[in-house]
Amino acid sequence: MIKKDNSRSYERNILFLTPYPFNEAPSQRFRFEQYFNYLNQKGIKYRQNTFFLKKDGKTFILQVIFF
């Protein structure tokens, strides 16, 4: 929980929309996956959603994310 001032507090939630699943693409690891442990230590909640899924060694578009 992050305190903005003395009267209010709020939670920080981060949604990472990524092309590939966790630990699959070096560019993702360099850009943000390296910070996941830090976010956990600071109590910041995050979720990673991917829009490419891997099946039988092949990568293809499977998920559609609706808000």
Q: Hey, what's the torsion of the CAs at 43, 21, 15, 27, to 10 degrees?
A: 90
Which SS3 state, helix, strand or coil, does residue 60 take?
strand
pLDDT tens readout for residues 26-48:
888 788 888 899 999 999 999 98
* Angle at CA of residue 57, ends 56 and 60, nearest 5°: 85
Whole-model pTM: value is 0.61
Distance CA 22, CA 29 (A): 8
Give domain limits for the chain: 2-61
Higher pLDDT, 7 or 22: 22
